[in-house]
Copies of this chain bind each other. A is one copy, B any other.
Amino acid sequence: MRTIKLTIQFDGTLYHGWQTQSRDRTVQTTIRDSLARMFNKTVVLHGSGRTDAGVHALGQVAHFKIDSGMSLSSLQRGLNSLLPGDIVITAAEEADADFNARFSAVSRVYWYCIWNAPTPSPFFTRYAWHLNKPLDLAAMKQAAMSLVGEHDFSSFHFRARDEANPMREIKKISLRLMRKSLVLVEIEAGSFLRNMVRIIVGTLVQVGRGRLTPDSIEDILNRRDRRCAGPTAPAHGLFLKKVKY
C-alpha cells in the first residue's frame, strides 16, 4: 500500500469549500471522484483541513492510500486531465506510511488579498476584497503585532457549536502593498479556529479605516467575545497559501 501526498491549487469560486458535504459540489469530492475514475475503485482522500466556500488554494495538501504501481508523473498527469480547469495538482509525491495531511502538518500559511483603490479591478473581483477608501497600512501593521504569539482567540472565532480549546499561536503576520493597489495579508499559525483569518482581516480593516485604534486589539483579545472584533472579511479574498510539514 502506497501513501501519496498531493499538492493542490484551486480557484474556489464555484465550490462549496474543500470538505465533502451531502450534496454540494466541493473540491475534495471532485478530486476523490477523479481518483476513483482513474483507479476504478473507491479512494479515501484526506485534506490538511477545511476551507470555506469560495476560498482559494495555492498549496492545499491531501493524502490517500492506494495499491497501484502507477508512476507519480502518470498519476499527476492523469488526474489533471480528468479534473476541471479550476483544480490543478501541482505535485504528487510518495509519502511515509504514517504521513497524514492533517495531523502531520506543523503550520498553515494563509494569504488574504484586498484590492484597495477607488475603482474595482475586473481581474480581482474573484480574488480580492474591494475597499475603495485608502487604508492606513501603518496602523494595520501595528495592530497585527498584538495578534502574534499565543492567545485565546475566542473574539476571532465563529463558533457554530461548543468547540474545545480557543488557544492558538500566530507565528507571523505581515502586510505588504503590491503594485499600488493590492494589499496582501499573510498569516501563519499551527492551526486556525473557524473563520479566524477572515475575522482578523475584517478587524485589521477596521483599524485601517480608523474605526478602531491599533492598541484596541489587545482589549478585543482579552474580552473573548466575537462581538468585539470586526466583521468577517469575505471568503473570495482568502487563499490557503501553504501547509508546512
Chain A positions within 8 Å of B, measured between CB atoms, are 9-11, 56, 76, 80, 85-90, 119-123, 125, 127
Contact = CB atoms under 8 A, between A and B. Distances in A.
19 contacts: A9-B121, A9-B122, A9-B123, A10-B122, A11-B122, A11-B123, A76-B119, A80-B119, A80-B120, A85-B120, A85-B122, A86-B122, A86-B125, A87-B122, A88-B119, A88-B120, A88-B121, A88-B122, A89-B119
Of all A-B residue pairs in the complex, the 10 with the closest CB atoms, nearest first, are: A11-B122, A85-B125, A86-B122, A88-B122, A9-B122, A90-B119, A88-B119, A88-B120, A10-B122, A11-B123
Contacts of A11: 122-123
Nearest to A84: B122
A165 to B, nearest CB: 34
A80 B121 CA distance: 11
A90 B115 CA distance: 14
A121 to B, nearest CB: 7
Contacts of A123: 9, 11, 56, 127
Nearest to A130: B85
A87 B125 CA distance: 10
A84 to B, nearest CB: 9
Of listed A88, A120, A122, A125, residue having the most chain B CB within 10 A = A122
Nearest to A7: B119
Contacts of A56: 123
A57 to B, nearest CB: 9
Given A87-B122, A88-B119, 12 more contacts: A9-B122, A10-B122, A56-B123, A76-B119, A80-B119, A85-B120, A85-B122, A85-B125, A86-B122, A88-B120, A88-B121, A90-B119
A87 B123 CA distance: 9
Contacts of A120: 80, 85, 88
